Amino acid sequence: MRFKKQLLSICLLLCIILSTGYFLATANLRFIYYTPAPCPESAKELSNPYIGWYQVRRYLLSDTADFDLPATAGPEQRPGLVLLEINLQNYADRPISSAGLSHLHTLFQTWASAEKQLIVRFLYDWDGNATEQEPKERSLILKHMSQAASVVNAYSDRIYILQGVFIGSWGEMHGSDYANPEDIRILMDHLNTVISPDIFLAVRTPEQWRLVTGRAEPVSAEQAFNPSLPARLGLFNDGMLGSDTDLNTYRAPSSEESSDSFGKRGREEEIHFQNLLCASVPNGGEVVIDNPLNDFAAAAAYFQETHVSYLNSAYDEAVLSKWKADSYRGEGVFHGMNGYDYIGRHLGYRYVLRDFACTPSGLPGETGLFSVTLENIGFSGAYHPFELTLSLTDINRGRAYTIPVLTDLRPLAAGTKTTLNIPFDSLSCPTGIYRLCLKISDPVTGCEIHPANDMAHTADGYVLGNLEIRSFPKLSQ
């Protein structure tokens, strides 16, 4: 009898020890249960910066300028692109006056307040008559560049691209006494020196790009996204799809091939060149002259190959109307959409959240993972680095935890996917039920980057689901 009592006491003691050990062990464990939210792809229009249809606004600079400036509130306050053409013909025989520079400052200040991203083109001619309108001395154009830069650089957070080198009919670097290799090279070298490296520059043709950079081919992926001229010089093509040469942008089929690797190349060669170049610098412009080359399907394929991210919303109306009358016949969420809207939704980057997974670890010293798979179905990538964050908000107590995602979406090229693996230490969060959100934002403009998904949206971003963190496992699932 005595032996049985001792045995019972020992068993009881062992149970107490084991129970205590289990409690102490599980007190430092986390059991995590993730309930995903649906994230179907959406064909909706996205209000994202640096991409899409742009509007053109023209301003004739003078000492007594009376500009028609935009409202700083209302419909124009949504993110979007505006091309500001600033005509300097009133200063073709003298430096820009202090009054003119003051008006230029007011112009940029007002547009910056309207929350737009600006494409800027300085020129002397709107009539196709550059030789008569431009300064007679190149030194005066260089002076105007330096003066304009003193104002432009103050708005480097809003000015996205500076097009051209101030010369040519409509500022397009042709039809000018200065549209020769030596002058173009000198003008671009000076512009590159005086304009903030935060602003992209652009020339009219691939041939001009090779001329001013001294490179026969674009920079490599490893050399991209730095302040050097080859890494920040893009293209603007205002003869896009107007003929088999894009109105003299490419070498005519009947022309002899040049032995000069820097010279003008044939259409297919230049398209290949742009495919490489515009993986890291912007390309855009306007389509012109209704013809089979700019039929909807052919145009969409061209924009994909050349990574077009911005187009004139008003020109050429005959081509734009043709796209509106056609429709996308492929499968997926865009089936049946008119061609104009299809193209608009694919200009630039367009991120689709394809998958989200949680692989947690509740063990001390071990780190779990969140995996986010994004696909870029746009015509191009992004050219500015965006910030990504995951946030967990305790839905009962309101406590919030933010996980920065150390990645750069610029290498996410058109038509590619990437999976971001984000470390997560569950022991850093108290037990509770958390709403999990993903947010992508542009630190320069402060704009949120919206994915092409139908998902619930909060101030913390798009809801990926709920995460329950427990100290003990659930008895049933």
Beta bridge partners of 53: 311
Q: Is pLDDT at 145 greater than 50 in this prediction?
A: yes
pLDDT > 70 fraction of the chain, expressed in percent and rounded: 89
11 phi-psi bin (left φ>0, alpha ψ -120 to 50, beta other): alpha
Quick one: pLDDT band at residue 424, thresholds 50, 70, 90? confident
Q: What is the pLDDT of residue 12?
A: 53
Q: How confident is the model at residue 21 (pLDDT cuts 50, 70, 90)?
A: very low
Residue 336 class from Cβ within 10 Å (0-12 exposed, 13-18 middle, 19+ buried)?
exposed
CA atoms within 13 A on the CB side of 202: 27
Confidence of residue 430 (pLDDT cuts 50, 70, 90): confident
pLDDT tens, 112-130? 888 889 999 999 999 999 9
438 with 390: CB under 8 angstroms?
A: yes
Domains and CATH numbers, the chain: 29-43+350-470 (2.60.40), 52-346 (3.20.20)
Question: What amino acid is encoded at 335 in this protein?
Answer: H
pLDDT for res 261: 84
**What's the mean pLDDT in 290-307?**
98
pLDDT band at 22 (very low <50, low <70, confident <90, very high): very low
Q: Is the pTM of this model over 0.95?
A: no
Instruction: Assess whether pLDDT exceeds 60 at residue 450.
Output: yes
Q: Is 295 left (phi over 0), alpha (psi -120 to 50) or beta?
A: beta
Average pLDDT of the segment spanning 285-306: 98
Report the share of the chain in percent with pLDDT over 90: 75
Written as one string, the DSSP assignment of 117-138 is: EEEEEEES-SSS-HHHHS-SSH
